Amino acid sequence: MEVVCASCGEKFIRNPRSPNQSYCSKKECQRMRKSLWQKSRMKKDSTYRNNQRLSWKEWARQHPGYWKEYRKKHPDKTRRNSMMQTIRNRRRRRPELIAKMDALEMPRIKPSGTYYLVPMIAKMDALKVNIFEIAGSWP
């Protein structure tokens, strides 16, 4: 039976042995499927979550300096991660204050540059955007 891939949107033929298959066999679509599966598993299965944590810790122990090097090589991603963590921490501590704090920080934003649009809905990813001033539109 021909179905539409949930990732790339292209049509593909289901493997007769997986009647619920909703992702085609392309590498990036399988990666997306696995990543979503893992995200949902991490959310609802505490045993899986703890095992993952232990295995990440063990991996980091066997690769000393990896994250330090990663942060040096990817300052942009490091900055984004640290910002996302700040937002997660804020949400956890005083969710009712988010709107107020964001409003207070507004004057620090310059009209042009690269920004992350961070949705207030926790499940959504941040969107990296460029913002350009339209001449004469900034007060």
Q: Which residues bind Zn ion (CB under 5 A)?
A: 5, 7-8, 24, 26, 29
Between 13 and 42, name the residue whose CB sits nearer to Zn ion: 13
Distance CA 43, CA 30 (A): 20
Helix (H) or strand (E) holding 127: strand 127-131
Between 6 and 98, name the residue whose CB sits nearer to Zn ion: 6
Question: Which of 122, 117, 56 shows the shortest CA–CA distance to 89?
Answer: 122
Question: Which of 20, 50, 17 shows the shortest CA–CA distance to 33?
Answer: 20
CB 31, min distance to Zn ion, A: 10
CA-based angle 111:117:122, to the nearest 5? 150
CB 21, min distance to Zn ion, A: 11
Between 21 and 87, name the residue whose CB sits nearer to Zn ion: 21
CB 6, min distance to Zn ion, A: 8
Between 24 and 87, name the residue whose CB sits nearer to Zn ion: 24
CB 24, min distance to Zn ion, A: 3
